[in-house]
Amino acid sequence: MPTPAIDDDMRFLRRHELEAALSDYLDCMQRAVAEGADIVATWKAQRQNRSMKRIVEELGRMTGARERCMFCEDSRGTDVEHFWPKKRYPEKSFRWMNLLWACAGCNRCKGDRFPCDSSGKPQLIDPTAEDPWDFLFYDPETDELTARWNQRTGKEDPRGVMTLEIISTLRHQAVAEGRRRTRRNLERAVRSFLSNKQEQIVEELLESIADNDGYGLPSWFFLRDGSDEPPFVEVRRQYPAVWKRIGKHLRGHGPGPAREDTTAPPSRRPG
Ligand SMILES: [Zn+2]
């Protein structure tokens, strides 16, 4: 059986390279804006453009077969979201690196809210540029997210706090319920592997991880803090080769190494 592809999941999403013709199209539109074209009208007029439609498809593909929202991972994405809002930052409006894929709910939550710190760094997490697990913490007992605790500063990570405040969908009960279901499926698959352990079962485990790739939970349990949680920790301890194989698949799509100074808290249309 071929090894299934695992879409590592709010999860880190490796941005696809855009083909040259589409990059050229975006450059051309960006020039028009630089030369004074109204951004809102220009963006709206481009919605039906064939190149724009292909760019929208490419964004959807980046999130996997179900084209889920890059923020909440719960609903299907329906809108192109400008990470740097287009009205305030028209100079970034047709930049590929600035385009995300979001559901209507997250798009509404974000709107034009885009706080930056004193150095001009955005406080919202960009899931295509950084690993959300560097800023957020998942509690498997409640299936809720909190900002990561930073031991060095003795505070919650400010970008984690701000992201949870802006994208309030991440705290919706229905989204926590989705995480719960995904976690349980992953736990079941791991328990089944632990009680069988033949080669066939390794493939089944990989397949289950690929099928339950939502909410960044595979990377949480197999690459990050969740690797100390039962039953995942048993795979790590007893089957290091299998553990390594899972990690390799996840890293193929996903985040880099964990930051060292952080730990658990004490306790389709262009829009
Ligand atoms: Zn969403």
- Domain co-membership, 103 together with 146: no
Q: What is the domain range of residue 136?
A: 132-253
Q: What is the pLDDT of residues 131-143, one digit of tens each?
A: 999 999 999 999 9
Q: Are 148 and 262 in contact (CB under 8 A)?
A: yes
> What one-letter code names the amino acid at 172?
H
- Domain co-membership, 45 together with 102: yes
- Domain co-membership, 166 together with 240: yes
Look at 86 and 214; give whichever has higher pLDDT: 86
Please report whether residue 195 resides in a domain.
yes
Q: What single string gives the DSSP state of each residue in the chain?
A: -PPPP--------PPPPPPHHHHHHHHHHHHHHHTT--HHHHHHHHTT-HHHHHHHHHHHHHT-TT-B-TTTSSSB--EEEESS-TTT-GGGTT-GGGEEEE-HHHHHHHTT---B-TTS-BSS--TTTS-GGGTEEEETTTTEEEEPEETTTTEE-HHHHHHHHHSGGGG-HHHHHHHHHHHHHHHHHHHHHHHH--HHHHHHHHHHHHHT-GGGHHHHHHTSGGGGSTTHHHHHHH-HHHHHHHHHHHHHHS--PPPTTEEPPP--EE-
Please report whether residue 264 resides in a domain.
no
Mean pLDDT computed over 176-189: 96
Look at 223 and 251; give whichever has higher pLDDT: 223
With CA atoms as reference, report the closest residue to 185 among 152, 160, 210, 164: 210
- Ligand 1 midpoint to CA 220 (Å): 19
- Ligand 1 midpoint to CA 62 (Å): 15
- Domain co-membership, 197 together with 166: yes
Q: What is the pLDDT of residues 229-246, one digit of tens each?
A: 999 999 999 999 999 999
Q: Of 79, 110, 141, which residue is a domain's last?
A: 110
Mean pLDDT computed over 165-184: 96
- Ligand 1 midpoint to CA 248 (Å): 28
* Cα of 86 vs its chain's centroid, Å: 21
- Ligand 1 midpoint to CA 187 (Å): 25
Please report whether residue 139 resides in a domain.
yes
- Ligand 1 midpoint to CA 199 (Å): 37
Q: What is the pLDDT of residues 79-128, one digit of tens each?
A: 899 999 999 999 999 999 999 999 999 999 999 899 999 999 999 999 99
Please report whether residue 3 resides in a domain.
no
Please report whether residue 117 resides in a domain.
no
- Ligand 1 midpoint to CA 69 (Å): 5
pLDDT grade for 197, boundaries at 50, 70 and 90: low
Per the structure block, which two tokens stand in for 237? 């301890």
- Mean pLDDT over all residues of the chain? 88
pLDDT of 4 > 80? The answer is no
- Domain co-membership, 169 together with 224: yes
- Domain co-membership, 57 together with 102: yes
- Domain co-membership, 84 together with 154: no
- Ligand 1 midpoint to CA 250 (Å): 22
- Ligand 1 midpoint to CA 101 (Å): 9
Q: Strands across the sheet with 269-270, in order?
A: 99-102, 79-82, 269-270
pLDDT for 117: 94
- Ligand 1 midpoint to CA 175 (Å): 9
d(CA 266, CA 103): 32
- Ligand 1 midpoint to CA 210 (Å): 20
- Domain co-membership, 181 together with 137: yes
The tally of domains found in the chain comes to 2
- Ligand 1 midpoint to CA 173 (Å): 13
- Domain co-membership, 153 together with 98: no
- Domain co-membership, 92 together with 174: no
- Domain co-membership, 141 together with 225: yes
- Domain co-membership, 29 together with 91: yes
**Bridge partners (DSSP) listed for residue 145:** 138
Please report whether residue 105 resides in a domain.
yes
- Ligand 1 midpoint to CA 163 (Å): 13
pLDDT of 260 > 80? The answer is no
d(CA 149, CA 47): 41
- Ligand 1 midpoint to CA 46 (Å): 23
- Ligand 1 midpoint to CA 109 (Å): 9
Please report whether residue 5 resides in a domain.
no
Between the alpha carbon of residue 14 and those of residues 145, 236, 239, 250, the distances in Å are 22, 25, 28, 11
pLDDT for 5: 40
Per the structure block, which two tokens stand in for 209? 């991880």
pLDDT for 85: 96
pLDDT for 23: 97
- Ligand 1 midpoint to CA 221 (Å): 22
Please report whether residue 269 resides in a domain.
no
